[in-house]
Amino acid sequence: MSEQQLTAPLSAPAPAGEPRSGWSLLLPYAVQAVAIVAIFAAVGALAGVVWEWVWTPPVGVAVHHQWLQDEAGLRGNFSATGTYVLVAVVAGLVTGAVVALLLDRSELVTLVAVVAGALLAGWVMQHVGSALGPADPHHIAASAQDETRIPGSLVVSGKSALRAFPAGALLGLTVVFLGFSRLRQSAR
């Protein structure tokens, strides 16, 4: 190698016929990964809005500055987690499939970005939905009069429900990568 080749700046365009530098080769993959994660974050926020919209809060009452629920209210607590799982799986499935169809420059980059994006989307969904839902009924009951009806808050019970968004996204990705592989190959 000549001294001129060793001291040439990395940002200079490669002459015709010579390979491009490492950064210019990685840039499209980095843009793809960032776009996928951003798409998932936006869908996670939208899914949080949908989760809060379709959920019906359980109602309890204030008794001696404590929030208490009857049997129907206790069942309503589980509906928050069930609704979260349903919305998250559907949103993850659709988003994973669309991303796999449209942003598949590299399947490995797509896979890693979908996993990261889906985890972020599940977190965003939980926080957006909880922020839009009713306030913590225990805090409200602390200053409320007895027999005041107070709606429950929108929360997810347990950590296993938080795997719903990534599970749906990976299912959508798998369906496209395996089920539509011939169509994807002919389109290239």
pLDDT confidence of residue 128: 96
Residue 113 structure tokens: 């970005």
The confidence band for 141, taking pLDDT boundaries of 50, 70 and 90, is confident
Dihedral pair phi/psi, residue 36, rounded to 5°:
-65, -45
Q: Are 105 and 29 in contact (CB under 8 A)?
A: yes
pLDDT confidence of residue 106: 86
Report whether pLDDT(77) > 60: yes
**Cβ neighbours of 180 (radius 10 Å):** 14
Residue 109 structure tokens: 């980059």
| H or E element, residue 89 | helix 71-102
The confidence band for 3, taking pLDDT boundaries of 50, 70 and 90, is low
Distances from the Cα of 177 to the Cα of 86, 99, 105, 157, angstroms: 23, 11, 12, 33
> For 74, how many CA atoms within 13 A lie in the half-sphere containing its CB?
4
Report whether pLDDT(183) > 60: no
Q: Are 117 and 45 in contact (CB under 8 A)?
A: no
Q: What is the pTM of this model?
A: 0.78
Instruction: Show the beta-strand stretches assigned E in the chain.
Output: 59-63, 66-69, 149-151
Q: Are 153 and 66 in contact (CB under 8 A)?
A: no
Nearest to 96 by CA among 80, 82, 125, 116: 116
Nearest to 102 by CA among 3, 184, 14: 184
Residue 68 structure tokens: 């208490």
Domains of the chain: which residue ranges? 19-187
How far apart (Å, rounded) are the C-alpha atoms in residues 117 and 96?
Answer: 10
The confidence band for 79, taking pLDDT boundaries of 50, 70 and 90, is confident
